[in-house]
Chains A and B, each alone.
Chain A
Amino acid sequence: MTDLSSTDGLFFDYGSHTRRRGVDDDWTLRDIAVTIPAGSTVGVVGESGSGKSTLVRLMCGLLMPSRGEITFAGRSVNDWLSEDRLDFHRRNQIVFQSPASSLDPRLRIRTSLSEPTKALERRRPDTAELTGWLADVGLSGDVLSRYPHQLSGGQLQRIAVARALSVRPDVLYADEPTSALDVSVQAQVLNLLMGLKSRHGLTMVLVTHDLAVVARVCEEVIVLKDGQVVEVGPTADIMTDPKTDYTRTLVQASRATSLSF
């Protein structure tokens, strides 16, 4: 598989854009070199504060690196953003943890769902298109006239996914997409994401602290701790034979709170 997206010597800090800093300083992300193969599903795991959300925000162009390089489809993200900004954002879409706060409470679903097409393709999608996108995530066209507060968490997350996919991205980044949901709804959303991925030939990057989810969904895992990559590899290897104490702690904690028969 070719690499769709990669980082090399990536450093980032939320306060450092104007300051000169050495490599030994305290960075939010430090010297990150990871690759996302085209068509794969990669999990990014780690505890709160490990930098996993920051990493995907950098990769999809929502944050700028302090140092180092991010490459997308063989081209520097800097170049993408200065020359084809809209096209880069169209190709890299993200869904967040809380669907209730990623949809404007004052807008009907129709308006929210149309926004990426209006912003990135400069046109207004018609009802047939909108209904098609909703059908793709298992929702009926009835929800178009609703407001977010009238829908459940699972329905809202489906809408957030439909909205991200409406511009036919290459990569879908999902930042803890199921953490705010019930276990039963979580399974539905994960199945939906896996189905959409294979139907649309997407590359998917899933940020989560739940290794049980990673074990079911991701082929590869990137483990982050305090802003550094501690381990990368195929999921089965990392789950059964972790090479670092940190990953072992994560796997054990996850097993301790999983059902045992």
Chain B
Amino acid sequence: MLDIDDLSISIGPHEIVSIEHLSIPAGRRLGLVGESGSGKTMTAMSIIGLLPREAVVTGSITFDGVPMVNRPERELSKIRGSEIGTIFQDPLRALNPTMRVGKQVAEALRLHNTVPKQQVRSRTIELLDQVQLPEPEVLARRYPHQLSGGQRQRVLIAMAIACDPKLLIADEPTTALDVTVQKEILELLGRLSDELGMAVMFVSHDLGVIQAISDHVAVLYGGRLAETGPTDQIVRSPRHRYTEALIDVNPGHPEDITASLGKALTTIKGSVPPLGAFLPGCRFRGRCPHETERCVQEPPITEMDGGHVFKCWNPVEVP
């Protein structure tokens, strides 16, 4: 349903994103994972044309058979919010503080004329109920500041699914939330995606969160696709050295808490280089503990069973 081929996003002299191929079949969930500055958000936003004005995009993004790259703004804005829904990290900033939340959900419905005028109100309540907000009639009359962080994110999800989108882009939607609320929101998104047959592109820096929501994952580093494939397979047996590092760095839940207490956590050497400061060849060079002489060249693409693909000269050995 969504196909990305030879996508390249540049700002000025710097190529920020360069992806050979990435796709999401209808109704499926894909996680984009990587550190800050790895190009996750740029990749997601390029789909709906929400990039900085000076960004130059080449290659092809096909959504439901329709090309999206360099599409006129008028057509894009019709697709945004109707066929592709979006939710962001900070729900408070995404809501209008001076408008009751019910009205904001109704606005999403009116804008795309999805239901007849007389039904807007009842559909609004239905949507608030669908995202499991308690007493939707009462809640619809509240202002954003009267809701908790989790409730605000639910309102945004209600707005995003208002027009039955085929794809939902979720950019770190649970990063600002408590663990308990995070779990509820992830469960809600999973359930809505199953019930509505809605595909999800889920952006996060936390592989644990990605594993909880999506069956497939794409690991990005320096704007390049390091590894992609089924989430469980990649978490259990990563091949790319960056994926391996991302897994090792996750504090997780140790088996023996007393033994691991106070012991240093595994880290990734250095930090993500600033734009334009990546070395040629493999992007992870300089931070990778398994670097070889060959890594100065662009790494080869290795395809394995089950759609597991990685780009690494010196991959993790499979046992």
Q: What is the interface of chain A, defined by CB distance below 8 A to chain B?
A: 41, 47-49, 152-154, 182-188, 190-191, 194-195, 209-213, 215-219, 235-236, 239-240, 249-250, 252-261
For A261, the closest partner residue in chain B by CB is B236
In the bound assembly, the distance between CA atoms of A184 and B265 in angstroms comes to 10
Cα(A47)–Cα(B267), bound, Å: 27
Judge whether A239 and B246 touch: CB under 8 Å. Answer: no
Residues in chain A near residue B262, CB distance under 8 A: 41, 194, 216-217, 219
CB-CB contacts of B206-225 with A at 8 A, as 1s and 0s?
Answer: 11110110000000000000
Name the 4 nearest CB pairs between A and B, nearest first.
A187-B265, A236-B257, A253-B183, A253-B180
Contact B212–A257 (Cβ < 8 Å): yes
Cβ–Cβ contact A256 & B183, under 8 A: yes
- How many residue pairs bridge A and B at CB < 8 Å? 121
Contact B260 A216 (CB under 8 A): yes
Number of interface residues of B (CB under 8 A): 41
| Pairwise interchain contact B267-A182, C-beta atoms closer than 8 A | no
Interface residue? B129 (CB, 8 A)? no
CA of A220 to CA of B149 in the docked complex: distance in angstroms? 29
The distance from the CB of A204 to the nearest CB of chain B, in whole angstroms, is 11
Q: Is the CB of A236 within 8 A of B265?
A: no
- Contact for A216 among B212, B236, B261, CB less than 8 A: B261
Contact of B178 among A48, A212, A259 (CB under 8 A): A48
Neighbour of A184 across the interface among B246, B253, B261, CB < 8 A: B246
Q: Are A257 and B186 in contact (CB under 8 A)?
A: yes
28 contacts between A and B (CB under 8 A): A47-B180, A47-B181, A48-B149, A182-B35, A183-B205, A183-B207, A184-B245, A184-B246, A184-B267, A190-B251, A194-B264, A209-B179, A216-B254, A216-B261, A218-B261, A219-B261, A219-B262, A235-B257, A250-B179, A256-B183, A257-B182, A257-B208, A257-B212, A258-B251, A259-B208, A259-B247, A261-B235, A261-B236
Report B243 CB to chain A, min CB distance, Å: 12
- Give the chain B neighbours of A187 by CB distance below 8 A: 249, 251, 265-268
| Nearest A residue (CB) for B250 | A259
Counting CB contacts under 8 A, is B276 at the interface?
no
Partner of A213, one of B35, B235, B251: B251
Besides A191-B264, A249-B180, A259-B250, 4 more A-B contacts (Cβ < 8 Å) are A211-B253, A216-B261, A257-B209, A260-B235
CA distance A240 to B222 in the complex (A): 39
Give the Cβ gap from A53 to chain B, nearest Cβ, in Å.
13
Any A CB within 8 A of the CB of B118: no
Contact B207 A257 (CB under 8 A): no
Contacts of B205 in A (CB 8 A): 182-183
With A152-B271, A216-B265 as known contacts, state yes or no: A259 contacts B252, CB within 8 Å: yes
